[in-house]
Amino acid sequence: MPIRPIVMVGDPVLHTPTKPIDEITDEIRALIDDLWETNDAANGAGLAANQIGVPLRVFVYDCPDDDGIRHRGLVINPQIETSPIPEGMPDPEDDWEGCLSVPGEAFPTGRAAEATVTGTDLDGNPVTVSGTGFFARCLQHETDHLDGYLYLDRLVGRNKRESKRSIRDRGWADKGITSWDPATQRAEDV
């Protein structure tokens, strides 16, 4: 169960919809083990397979809800339904969101208050995961990854402009930095 490098913004795998998993093989089980190890090492709330360069439709989550209750699990081939997504500028106090593929950055991001994800578990059994608040945000964020979107793609107005400026100022592309390794690095130091 190795800790894998996390692919960063700019890599095409993050903007390509992932492929469904048709069969739970030993390779899929090993992938999920690697997702857990990598997410835990990175102190993440969740991690999608394409964030470690694997274009398959699965994510793990280890995320508290607004009441502090920790939710930990995985969803294979997730589909999502949400309450309406608010229009306009997100709340600059409560709507902050970050991403392991955009290490050290966070911006207010508009998300639905409720989300329900359906899919299967590691044994192929149907699974339904529902959440509100921060946990709903996590479910939307991870499903977005599998659909080829980063949270940066959801930003609007000054938040979108500031995110572009921040990423440019970090100079990852200019330095040829395309991933970071949570086994040896901290996200805020990338």
Q: How deeply is 58 buried, as exposed, middle or buried, from its count of CB atoms within 10 A (0-12, 13-18, 19+)?
A: buried
Active site residues: 142
Q: What's the angle, vertex CA 40, arms to CA 57 and CA 49, rounded to 5?
A: 15
Q: Locate the DSSP E strands across 65-146.
A: 70-82, 96-99, 102-108, 114-120, 126-132
Binding positions for Fe cation are 99, 141, 145
Binding site: which residues? 99, 141, 145
Do strands 96-99 and 102-108 pair parallel, antiparallel, or not at all (unpaired)?
antiparallel
